[in-house]
């Protein structure tokens, strides 16, 4: 298996589903903070005949991200695909009542860590790699100030990188998944009828079916 995929935010939700879907064609490097969830993902990937390398770490720890990308280079010399699903969902709050701690963590995870990762991952991807970012268009929605502002900033970074690499590569994709019954959504929409939402595994399959060039 000569294709390598890095999934940041692979512990659960869409990131986990993308990892399982890609494992048939890629060696998966799964990054997440929850070791147990990563080990369960690894078990499912191995049971299906795939291979994964687990990286239980926090993307805001700069030294860990540097070491991870250095290890990818030393072992494989490249990265074919990066799916960035790691996100911090701050509690909903009126704009005048967002705690400094929540805003700081939102910016650290959703913006600063993303910016650093782009700089570390880009050299591994060269001109032929591909990166996937996932929009959540809630910017300007009542009570979504911390999450909405930091998510919009993350996507703005991705759009700039997309424009800068349009002719040279790597290819940057910005996708908007259908609503899914994830832990993040549950925090924002408690009591929602989750039976109407789209399973992460179905969304992962739909994403790759709609854009087969990603694989």
pLDDT in tens, 162-211: 999 999 999 999 999 999 999 889 989 998 999 999 999 999 999 999 98
* Model confidence pLDDT, tens digit, residues 14-29: 999 999 999 999 999 9
Assess if residue 214 is contained within a domain: no
110 secondary structure, DSSP code = I
Residue at 110 is within a domain = yes
Is residue 194 in some structural domain? yes
The answer to whether position 20 is within a domain reads yes
Supply the CATH number for residue 143's domain: 3.40.50.720
215 inside domain: no
Mean pLDDT over 117-126 rounds to 98
Q: Is residue 70 part of a domain?
A: yes
The span from the CA of 28 to the CA of 39, in Å, is 13
Q: Which of 212, 207, 129, 135 minimizes the C-alpha distance to 171? A: 129
Phi then psi for 58, rounded to 5 degrees?
-95, 125
Over range 33-37, report the average pLDDT. Answer: 96
Q: Which domain holds residue 182?
A: 4-209
What pLDDT does 1 receive? 58
Domain assignment present for 172: yes
> What are the angstrom distances between the C-alpha of 143 and each of 94, 147, 184?
5, 9, 15
Q: Please tell me the total count of domains within the chain.
A: 1
According to the model, what pLDDT value does residue 95 have? 97
- Any domain includes 74: yes
pLDDT, averaged across the chain: 96
pTM recorded for the entire structure = 0.96
* 111 secondary structure, DSSP code: I
């Amino acid at each position: 298996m000569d294709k390598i995929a890095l999934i940041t935010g692979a512990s659960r939700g869409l990131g986990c589903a993308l990892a399982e879907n890609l494992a048939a064609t890629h060696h998966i490097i799964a990054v997440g903070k929850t070791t147990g969830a990563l080990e369960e993902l690894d078990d499912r990937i191995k049971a299906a005949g795939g291979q994964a390398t687990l990286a239980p770490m926090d993307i805001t720890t700069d030294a860990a991200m540097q070491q991870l990308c250095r290890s990818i280079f030393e072992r494989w010399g490249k990265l074919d695909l990066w799916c960035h699903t790691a996100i911090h969902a701050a509690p909903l709050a009126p704009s005048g009542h967002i705690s400094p701690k929540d805003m700081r963590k939102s910016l650290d995870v959703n913006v600063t860590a993303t910016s650093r990762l782009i700089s570390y991952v880009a050299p591994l991807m060269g001109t032929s790699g591909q990166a996937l970012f996932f929009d959540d268009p809630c910017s300007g929605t009542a009570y979504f100030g911390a999450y909405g502002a930091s998510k919009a900033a993350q996507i703005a970074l991705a759009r700039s990188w997309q424009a800068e690499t349009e002719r040279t590569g790597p290819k940057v994709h910005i996708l908007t998944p259908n609503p899914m019954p994830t832990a993040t959504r549950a925090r924002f929409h408690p009591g929602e009828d989750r039976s109407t939402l789209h399973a992460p595994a179905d969304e992962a399959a739909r994403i790759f079916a709609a854009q087969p060039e990603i694989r």
